Amino acid sequence: MNKEFPSHVSLTVFLFVIQLSLLIFASPSPMDGASGLGIISFGFTTLNSIVSDIQAIEIELSQVQVPSSSMTLNICREVVGRSLKQFAYVQNAMDSITLTLNQASLAQMALTAANTYVRTCQQALDEAGEDSHGPFGSVILLLEAAGAGQCTTSQAISQAITEIAKHTPKQDNTETEIPITQATPGAIIESVPASRRVRVAKDGSGNFKTINDAVKNVPLNQNAYFLIYVDEGKYEEYVLITSDRPYLILAGAGEGKTIITGNRSTGTGWGTFYSSTVAVEAENFIGFNMTIENTAGPVNSQAVALRTSASFSAFHRCTILGFQDTLFVHVGYQFFRQCTIAGTIDFIFGYSSVVFQNCIFILRQPLNGQSNVITASGRNCSTDLTGISIHMSSIMSAPELKNTTVSYLGRPWGNYARSAFLLSNFKASIDPSRWYPMNGSPADVEFGEFDNPGLGTRASVLRNNGTLDHKLDRNSAYQFTVDRMLMGGNWIGNMTVPYTKGLFP
């Protein structure tokens, strides 16, 4: 995996946000900040220079002399374009004299997504074996330049969030556990009017025979839910939910009944990013009651079943099957409830802030000599509001898993990895060292465990900073809950997906 790369997104943004927060909160009222217009203008100038850097990459990509069908070129063009949109969101957030805590958190996540998209381009270039001497040479150099200081920028917004939090009344007492929401699962589906729902059936009895045809007919840029109901059957297609189709519900007839299947992989030339059977790039997406699988098998290396590249995505009662890299939780806020996920190496990986509750994780048999790794968390910066949390779930072994296969809870995908297992029941055998090191010793890795029955006796392991890797206390474990990881979780309740906000139901 790639090391952290530099960028000149700048010390001036850091100074801008610190000055802005001091200006706003020095006044008697946090809302009194009108005199900060000069500093806001200064911040815009800096953010505009960041955007100019990314635009230079976009221009360079348009001039790369490779076939237009190049998968690497297409990935980079796509993700760099999305990066610019995320930076624009940060600019708009900074247009406000003061920010609420939620607005600041969303700006932080947008900045994280922007940086992740740039990194995704670099990872695609690395995966394709490109270097600075090839046709992408100028792009690679610009990517390296466009990254230095990104963590300083993230730290600046993080400090602004800390200041805002000091002046925001606390809604909940973290010492008091918050019970599960009493949402009626799937109730939002029943609320969608007939005019905003279609049915897919392979036998032609519905509105469409394929899921993709149904997706193409979803209204663009809507702000109310649209339902695609998929009848029982096996659908051999690659489904892409583009960002201009938010508020979409994709619901099946049941796990194991409605099956979306594909077999793309890096081993067959697709690359990790484009190997997914289903890719979700639209916000406020709900996946319900279906199976998504990638059948490429362990011999074909990375092969994604589901890629989620958008915030406010929820999956309820879905089965996601693959081997290496089954579930790519790419960017944004995401939630999985009562889902089954099966795989081998790094089968949950990415840069998002994601919580799994009441899910089942199945360890499958990899190639001989390989080990199973459940999570591979990546973060661009130590202040990014991201990580992988597995909460109140079960970890099991597939019947074919050999006793000689070693399995681990996770490993870092570069610096700043952050993963935790909370109140989860282990029926699979996990190596006593628990966590598998990757690429030497990445910095500031945060791995956590809290009250997991069946995990067994753990070996004494030194963390990368030399301190003993120990179990989380209750306070630290709370930082991996829906309340802390997913902005409190109200958006999940609005989707009528049940969830536990705190540690205990």
CB 289 within 8 A of CB 229: no
pLDDT at 6: 32
Q: First CA to last CA across the chain, in angstroms?
A: 37
Across 102-111, b (16+ Cβ under 10 Å) vs e yields eebbbbbbbb
pLDDT at 439: 60
pLDDT at 242: 97
Identify the residue with better confidence: 259 or 90: 259
CA distances from 36 to 25, 88, 103, 257, 465 (A): 11, 21, 18, 58, 41
Domains belonging to the chain, first-starting first, are 11-166 (1.20.140), 187-494 (2.160.20.10)
Identify the residue with better confidence: 31 or 231: 231
428, pLDDT greater than 60 = yes
Q: What is the DSSP string of 240-285?
A: EE-TT--SEEEEES-TTTEEEEE---GGGT-TTGGG-SEEE-SSS-
pLDDT digits (tens, 9 = 90+) for 344-374: 999 999 999 999 999 999 999 999 999 999 9
Residue 95 is among the residues annotated as catalytic for this protein: no
Identify the residue with better confidence: 116 or 151: 116
pLDDT tier, 152 (very low <50, low <70, confident <90, very high otherwise): low
23, pLDDT greater than 90 = no
CA distances from 101 to 39, 92, 107, 169, 486 (A): 20, 15, 10, 10, 13
Q: How many helices (H) and strands (E) does the chain have?
A: 11, 23
Structure-block tokens of residue 360: 């089942």
DSSP 458: P
pLDDT tier, 30 (very low <50, low <70, confident <90, very high otherwise): very low
Q: Which entry of 32, 53, 203, 346 is annotated as an active-site residue?
A: 346
pLDDT at 1: 42
26, pLDDT greater than 80 = no
Rounded CA separation 117/115 (Å)? 5
Rounded CA separation 191/183 (Å)? 13
CB 252 within 8 A of CB 288: yes
174, pLDDT greater than 60 = no
pLDDT at 163: 72
Instruction: Give the mean pLDDT of 437-451.
Output: 78
Nearest CA-CA partner of 108 in 96, 122, 93 = 93
pLDDT at 459: 58
Rounded CA separation 341/364 (Å)? 10
